[in-house]
Structure 1
């Protein structure tokens, strides 16, 4: 991956776009005129192929009724596994290790219920204090099943500066009383990438099961979950993978755990050859399918067929390379044009340590985000004072990055943010 030379002109941005070998994918997405969408790390845009795959499933319902479970272009009974095959290519896993099922939070509950096996000496779950809150809530509620004083059984990884973790801080939390570790692949605020391979090795040295929340890393960085020997991982598919709001989530369980009884079982945990025998005892699938529960949410699953087709056609390696170039270019422009406006760049500047977005903090972040939206730019505000900027490789351009920096400069020069209240909306 090359480090781009820097030239602070619009002409250079146009040059970069002309030489972008992913530029043809932009036309496959619905781009709104007069808008610059830099919030793809919260919700990716709709692709025409995702729309088509949803309409195809609706048509199969129209044409086949209940026989759509086994007939039509994409029989519903096998759709979760079919999408899982596509996801496995993105996360570096075997097809039988990945399934599209549930939501991020549901899948995390399933993994804790399955792999958290406290003993008299090992009762703690390690989680980091900067993690997305749903993970904290799930851990707390699962511990509540076992213990009254749940805080006695949570081991937090603490950040020294409120933005990043050191490798040493995380490893130090892997004490003898830890039974399970749950960490993010990319920190959702700062965008710091954690070293999943090294952390997995350290956990396993201590006999600890370890799993990762990949919501902000899947589709923006490369993974090799099987080869890294990760025990489990879970993620949403509506951010960088463009599966749509409420898209069915992804789940990875390493093949070494095949046969492990699901902590939360349902009829879709069944061996597919036995599922409709309607036995009173579960005959579970012998792969990741065992960690499904109820009937798949097919209308939230169908768009992924088209969305992931686009993604895998482009390839995670090329997507990662352009993603790094886009965020690196933003940082270069930030340093050139925005350094005098009291922003703090609170994401890694090292390309190898930064995920798919840039994070800036400012005392007036909420009102700056509102001013950006007024100017047609869609960023993401994160309380209390953060702005996330996520140029996405498949549909954003270098010229858009240049334009956004110029708009921010204008907002700050003309104090346009002062026309807005410095408080978040209902949805930040």
Structure 2
């Protein structure tokens, strides 16, 4: 925020006060009025809250279903929802409209894309990293098994550094050590720490070793701009329920670079058939000449409507992903400042450099689980990743600077009062 002309600039001490947060909220844009947010909601990196536009979009679809019945497939635009939503998200990820489609779930998209590109790759193994979300490894191992390959030998992991980060040079070193790698699969943002990886450098390293490269962008799409097409990323996947606020079970998204259009998907389904002849019911599958080929079954419109509503909200308010990123960085800056000053018992696991962090901040404390329970009792919604990480996400669509201050203040009170001692430690761990 720039200081008002004629006023003394804010000092570092000013920026640690709630009064400063309130002034910043009053001067900044926000979409909070369009969202129904439960408490001090710092968990938009797990599930975004409902918006009035998402609710209205569902109601509109229900009205069409009621009035049109099956004719909705021909009288409305249901038939092209996946492609239409994909074209609207394409600018967020730096892609051409035909390179993005909304379809399936994130893990289903990983299965079909990893399976496709593992078949097309020169090498027979997949390079991942040890800090990935586990589900990504489940999908890769399954695809290796389907090809009669040993998943323990075919899944190669980049080890993290002592500070639990992964750098592009670590990926390059792993590729040097394993020339048999055919596919590189990395997250854009590490789900525990919030570290943002260097997609361009990793893509360059993979292509220099004749490997194909894809990214799981569940923790970045909607809050971090990407340049997939210019960088040359081969494929990517993401979910619709985090920063895109598309609701629980929202449809996922996928990107496939144009140079791969026309490739046979490993999981072929009739909705990925070329649209012009889809209803001719031909015996053989003809893939669409677009990312739409990686659709599988009939699109779940009720799981897509909320996302359509949120994109309408962005369009109506003129909100771009660049604006969301700027606001997100300002919010996480404030959170990092406050945590550093007021929560010295916690280790900040998230990189401070703006170009190295996504949209959430990870604080490490040995009582993370019980702290999370105590915060929930104070209507501060965070999430915990075992064994010791509390994640706070000031999502730029609906969280304000005063919310950030309140969350840290509640965290401080929980520590001061040892309020977490009122809760049992996790029995079998948490998910």
- TM-score over 0.5 (shorter chain): yes
DSSP 3-state at the match of 2:231: coil
Give CA-to-partner distance per residue, 1:121-157, whole Å, 9 cap, x none: 8221001110001100001111111235321111101
What does 1:384-399 align with in structure 2 at a 5 Å threshold? 384-399=387-402
Specify whether residues 309 and 254 from structure 1 end up closer, same or farther in structure 2 by C-alpha distance, changes over 3 A only. Answer: same
For 2:187, the equivalent position in structure 1 comes to: 184
Equivalent pair of 1:117/1:179 in contact (CA under 8 Å): no
The alignment covers a number of residue pairs equal to 419
1:124 lines up with 2:125 in the alignment: yes
Match of 2:349 in 1: 346
Structure 1 counterpart of 2:167:
166
Specify which of 201, 213, 216 is matched with residue 213 of structure 1.
Answer: 216
2:50 corresponds to? 46
TM-score (normalised: structure 1): 0.94
Structure-2 separation of matches of 1:243 and 1:425: 31
RMSD over equivalenced CA pairs, Å: 1.8
Aligned residue for 2:93?
Answer: 91
Secondary structure of residue in 1 paired with 2:306: helix
User: Does the 8 Å CA contact 2:107/2:139 hold for their aligned counterparts?
Assistant: yes
Gaps of 5+ in 2: 4-9
Q: Distance in 2 between matches of 1:149 and 1:243?
A: 37
Separation in structure 2 between the aligned mates of residue 284 and residue 18 of structure 1, nearest angstrom = 51
Q: What secondary structure sits across from 2:276 in the alignment? A: coil
The answer on whether the counterparts of 2:263 and 2:287 sit within 8 Å (CA) in structure 1 is no
CA shift for structure 1 position 166:
2.4
Report Cα offsets for 1:202-247 as digits up to 9, x if no partner.
1111111000000001112110111111000000010000000000
**Structure 1 SS opposite 2:230:** coil
Q: How does 1:51-200 map to 2 (within 5 A)?
A: 51-72=55-76, 75-117=77-119, 122-161=123-162, 163-174=164-175, 175-200=178-203
1:327–1:391: 8 Å Cα contact kept in structure 2? yes
CA contact under 8 A between 1:236 and 1:249: conserved in structure 2? yes
Q: 8 Å contact 1:111–1:232 — kept in the other structure?
A: yes
1:276: which partner in 2? 279
Instruction: Give the ranges of 4+ consecutive aligned residues of structure 1 lying more than 4 Å apart after TM superposition.
Output: 1-5, 424-428
Aligned to 1:254: 257
- What's the CA shift for 1:422? 2.1
Deviation per CA, 1:70-121, whole angstroms, max 9, x where unpaired? 213xx210111111111112111111000000000000000012110278x8
Contact 2:386 2:430 in 1 (8 A): no
What whole-Å deviation, never above 9, does each CA across 1:257-279 have from its counterpart, x for those lacking one? 11111111011111111001011
Consecutive unaligned residues of structure 1, counting only runs of 5 or more, are none
Q: Tell me the equivalent position of 1:357.
A: 360
Q: How many angstroms does 1:335 deviate by?
A: 1.5
Residue 423 (structure 1) shift: 1.5
SS at the partner of 1:68?
A: helix
